[in-house]
Structure 1
Amino acid sequence: MTDAPQTGTQPKITLIALGGTIASIRSDSGRARAGAMTGEALIAALGLDTPVTLEVETLAQKASNALTFEDLFAVRDAAQRAVAEGAAGVVVSQGTDTLEDSAFLLDMICDLPGAGLVLTGAQRVPYALGSDAGPNIRDAITVAAHPAARGAGALLVFDQEVHEALHVRKVSSHRLRGFESPGHGALGLVDGAFVDMRRPARLPDRFPDLTGPLPRVDILPAAMEASPRLLRAAVDSGARGLVLDGLGRGQVPPDWMPEIAVLREAGVPMAVTSSTLSGRLGPDYDYPGCMAEITALGVLPCDELSARKARLWLACRIAAGV
């Protein structure tokens, strides 16, 4: 619970820009064109006063719905190169819609044991009244330069809070408090130069040697009378793995079980998670479609992972031959 130490030289931080709302300009239609600004133009417009030497690299100028795994592997490589060249930390700016996905994937594939890695974005465009673009970038730089962030994996900084990649979720489409970690709470806080954060929880799986591409893994949402034909259709159309976004403690409709059994017998990797915001899976029940039946077929349980994160985890495992 200490301020970042004052030294005679300013730490070097590298900002890797990918676009997003935080880098928007107003289009001729009056709506926002996400990612239209380069990272260099964004930093120049914000006029930040953080006590660091900031280097900026624009890797993409995309809305977050257009980001790809290839983009994130490029971020991984650029981050590791920046740290090798003396950066004390790396900040990644992008759109918020896939910010939790990027944080989670980078947490698994990017190894920066001696530096901070922080992701951020904005809910309001930089030209809007009360925009959070400047404050979020400023706070992300502050955390990335702080000793507590070194070797902590990918962190997400938003609205003066620090979140771990494992549990953070986007919880609002428009409010400035756009991210929370349901069931766990924020990892820490940022108040000017003051940073207070505990060590994050992280999955034991690490894939720093993966180079991509990642295999296609599809998410199948369980719902009342959802058709089991969707599972077969996903595999027949090219999915290499499936994530069952289960109900409650990890249940699926009873008529999904025969199709799950057939696909598992054929060797299709599967994981199951819960569509709830928080809480562990549990083998508490004994009825068709319960989690105990699913995992007995070799479906991998993903406690407290959203389906989107379970998808990334399973894709990495398949790519790594686990």
Structure 2
Amino acid sequence: MKNTVVLISLGGTIASLPSSSGGAIAGALSGKELMDRLQIKSDGPVEVITLCQKPSNAITTDDLLQLRVLCLELSQRKDVAGFVVSQGTDTLEDTAYFLDTSLGLEDTALVVTGAQRVPYVSGSDAGPNLRDALKVANAPQARGAGALVVFNEEIHAASSVRKLSSYQLNGFGSPGIGPVGFVDGDEVRLTKRVQRLSAIAPGEQLPRVDILPVAIGASPALLEAAVASGAKGLVIDAVGRGHVPPNWMQPLGALRAAGVPVAVVSSTQWGRLAEVYEYRGSLAEQVSIGVLKASHLNARKARLRLMCALSCNMPIDQSLFS
């Protein structure tokens, strides 16, 4: 019977304790200590694994790969209904999308959550978010839905969710798409599913891919410097519908001629890329030299998907983001 949920704790604000100076020590609590402190109760059995105890800015790609292997192993158990990964919110969307793009679990729920406020202050969202995440992970309708982020009584798809506030309790949202479901007391309701890209099984190491932000006067030297210092691929966080400064085109062309994979996204919160303009630096010109369009992803997520693809030597073409 599938009724066991496994909590995999990585640390973060949700697992904080106060320091002697009054600050918060993120990840000070183990997963078991977190459950005990919050007095979390669940409808079914909950197993707890503490994978690491870190603030989320310290999570590494090796941690992500270890987390993926753990989820794969546990998913083979017939009693496991789902997982809850708890961590800090700063890189929560990265972890969620890495799991979404690298795992194709068809009969296991996968939920990521955290907290904006430490668990020892009044009004903390640590307890409510973790309780809701456990409910979703145990819900049959969440199985096979890909990685979901549960936060502030909302359920979001990993591909669209963004951290929208640095401190407010409604810290996460999916611009232009909205939540895919809600938690209302004991009721879990998934109202829609977002179309997902095919899963990529990564290799043993994720190669370095750099994000280059576009802005007025941004130097094209960034492109060559990134590759010269070890980047195996690039993601351009472009303006508007996918545009870069005109003087970026020459080094971009040289990098593409050298075989460096480059993906482009829009830095806007919502809206697809489109080849609707014909000027130097336009999306159309970039596509003509082999730059890949990642229309529905932000830069951090496109980076993770490109890293996964490069790690297993799969063909890097437009189908990667389509």
Shorter-chain-normalised TM-score: which range?
over 0.9
Corresponding residue for 1:134? 127
- SS of 1:88's equivalent in the other structure is strand
Question: Is contact 1:212-1:319 (8 Å) kept?
Answer: yes
Post-superposition Cα deviations, 1:68-110, rounded to whole Å, max 9, x if no partner, equal: 1111121112222223232111100000000000000000112
Residue matched to 1:165:
158
Q: Matched residues in 2 for 1:80 and 1:269: separation?
A: 29
Q: Which residue of 1 aligns with 2:205?
A: 213
Find the aligned partners of 2:209 and 2:303 in 1 and give their Cα distance.
6
Mapped partners of 1:87, 1:167: distance in 2: 26
Task: Answer whether contact 1:80 1:111 (CA < 8 A) is retained.
Answer: no
Measure, in 2, the Cα distance between the counterparts of 1:200 and 1:29.
45
- 1:76 equivalent to 2:68? Answer yes
1:174-253 equivalent positions in 2, closer than 5 A: 174-208=167-201, 210-253=202-245
Unaligned regions of 5+ residues in structure 2, if any?
316-322
1:137-191 deviation per Cα after TM superposition (whole angstroms, max 9, x unaligned): 0000000000111111110000000000110000000000000000000111001
From 234, 238, 259, the counterpart of 1:267: 259
1:247 is aligned with what amino acid?
A: V
- Tell me if 1:118 matches 2:111: yes
CA apart distance, 1:318: 1.3
Distance 1:92 1:110 in 2: 14
1:108 aligns with 2:101: yes
CA contact (8 A) 1:25 1:33 kept: yes
Report the 3-state secondary structure (helix = DSSP H, G, I; strand = E; otherwise coil) of the residue aligned with 1:261.
helix
Residues 106 and 154 of structure 1 are in contact (CA less than 8 Å); yes or no, is this contact kept in structure 2? yes
> Contact 1:160/1:191 (CA < 8 Å) preserved in 2?
yes
Q: Which residue of 2 aligns with 1:52?
A: 44
Q: One-letter code of the match for 1:17?
A: S
Show the counterpart of 1:318. 310
Match in the other structure for 2:284: 292
Task: State the partner residue of 1:4.
Answer: none
Q: After the TM superposition, list the runs of 4 or more consecutive aligned residues in structure 1 that deviate by more than 3 angstroms.
A: none
Assess if the C-alpha contact under 8 Å between 1:10 and 1:51 holds in 2.
no
Matched positions, count: 313
Residues 104 and 146 in structure 2, CA contact (< 8 A), matched pair in contact too? yes
- What is the rounded CA distance, in whole Å, between the counterparts of 1:291 and 1:136 in structure 2? 40
1:23 alignment partner AA: A
Which residue number corresponds to residue 87 of structure 1?
80
- Alignment of 1:257 with 2:257, yes or no, is no
CA separation in 2, counterparts of 1:309 and 1:10? 31
Which residue does the alignment assign to 1:5? none
AA partner of residue 63 (structure 1)? P
Deviation at 1:290, TM superposition (A): 0.4
* 2:91 maps to which of 79, 82, 98: 98
Inter-partner Cα distance in structure 2 for 1:250 and 1:54: 45
Contact 1:152 1:199 in 2 (8 A): no
Candidates 60, 63, 66, aligned match of 2:58: 66
SS of residue paired to 2:156: strand
Quick one: which amino acid aligns to residue 283 of structure 1? E
Sequence identity percentage: 52
Larger CA deviation: 312-321 vs 258-267: 312-321
Inter-partner Cα distance in structure 2 for 1:58 and 1:162: 24
CA shift at 1:199, angstroms? 4.2
Say whether the 8 Å CA contact 2:2–2:81 is kept in structure 1. Answer: no
What are the superposed Cα offsets for residues 108-151 of structure 1, whole Å, 9 maximum, x if unpaired? 11232111000000000000110000000000000000011111
In 1, distance between residues paired with 2:45 and 2:263? 43
1:147 counterpart residue number: 140
TM-score (norm 1): 0.95
